[in-house]
Amino acid sequence: MRILVVEDEDAIAEPLVAGLQREGFDVDRAATGAAALDESLRPDLVLLDLRLPDMDGLDVCRALRKRSAVPIIVVTARGEESDRVVGLELGADDYVVKPFGVRELIARIRAVMRRTSARPQDEGPLHVGALVVDARARRAQLAGRELELTPKEFDLLTALASDAGAAISRRRLLEEVWETTWYGSSKTIDVHVASLRRKLGDPGLIETVRGVGFRLHVA
């Protein structure tokens, strides 16, 4: 897997590139926005600093998104909340705030890759028995009945439906739906599963896999 690190400061970029390479990633580095948009680069994921010498990083984000669905993680400094929001609106998949550790970044990269490689909108709605989950429209139906779900309930259902029949660990759900690996937040999953079961009206549809997590029942 090839990562493009877009960062002008050597003091940040060099240890980052080295850390990613140690984890087995292939890494290209671009020190300017123009270099980041070089079409000969074919990254599987872009790590994009928003403060670049030649261009606004948000314009780089917009340009990348216009031509491809490559996963993008934007890097912002503390206090740049509006950049983060705009970055996500422009199609970035996640963000990290400087200073960040390589381990944290790698966890984010893995979570984003899992999420985007299973991007169901690329293949249209997911069908699992009588359940239809349309991630692009953010709509879910059960036997033709529209489900009124909160955003997290929808994401949880999407995570389960994208790998229906498989036992999905709590850890994976936390990473994919809540973007955290903090195990203390595991209780949150139970609350959301309980409300999702209620809304589905069929408690057997989401099965509890003891000691692991949950599984969407496939008839």
9 or 207: CB nearest Ca ion = 9
* Choice between 8 and 176, CB closer to Ca ion: 8
99 burial class (0-12, 13-18, 19+ CB within 10 angstroms)?
A: exposed
Residue 36 Cβ vs Ca ion, minimum distance, rounded to whole Å = 12
Distance between CA 79 and CA 199 in Å, rounded? 38
Residues 6+ apart with CB under 8 A from 152: 177, 178, 192
Minimum separation from the CB atom of position 114 to Ca ion (A): 28
DSSP string covering 22-90: HTT-EEEEESSHHHHT-TT---SEEEEESB-SSSBHHHHHHHHHHH----EEEEEETT-HHHHHHHHHT
**Cβ closer to Ca ion: 12 or 106?**
12
Residue ranges binding Ca ion (CB under 5 A)? 8, 49, 51
Least separation, in Å, of the C-beta of 48 and Ca ion? Answer: 10
- For residue 38 the two structure tokens come to 């070089």
Check if the beta carbon of residue 120 is closer than 8 Å to that of residue 158. Answer: yes
Among 145, 178, 174, 142, residue whose Cα is nearest residue 161: 142
Cα distances (angstroms) measured from residue 35 to each of 6, 12, 137, 173, 194? 8, 17, 35, 36, 48
CB of 79 to Ca ion, least distance (A): 15
| Nearest distance in Å: CB 7, Ca ion | 6
Q: Minimum distance from CB of 56 to Ca ion (Å)?
A: 11
